[in-house]
Amino acid sequence: MLLRQLKLKLKELLSLRFKHQMNILQAACYFSAEGVVIYLRDMFEGDSKGMLELTEYQEPFGGNQAIHFAALKGNKKIIDILVKDFKVQVNARTSNGLTIMHCAA
Is 25 within the bounds of a domain?
Answer: yes
Range of the domain at 36: 15-104
Could you give the percent of the chain with pLDDT greater than 90?
Answer: 69
Is 7 within the bounds of a domain?
Answer: no
* Number of domain units in the chain: 1
- The whole model's pTM is what? 0.86
Is 30 within the bounds of a domain?
Answer: yes
Is 1 within the bounds of a domain?
Answer: no
The lowest-confidence range among 6-15, 23-32, 61-70, 87-96 is 6-15
- Which ranges constitute the DSSP H helices of the chain? 2-6, 10-15, 24-30, 34-43, 48-56, 66-72, 76-84, 100-104
For 48-61, the pLDDT digits (tens) are 998 999 999 999 99
Is 4 within the bounds of a domain?
Answer: no
Q: Which residues contact 34 (CB under 8 A, 6 or more apart)?
A: 28, 75, 77, 78, 81
Average pLDDT of the residues in 52-79: 95
Q: Are 53 and 17 in contact (CB under 8 A)?
A: no
The CATH number covering residue 85 comes to: 1.25.40.20
Query: What pLDDT, on the 0 to 100 scale, is given for residue 96?
Result: 92
Q: Which residues contact 59 (CB under 8 A, 6 or more apart)?
A: 20, 21, 22, 23, 26
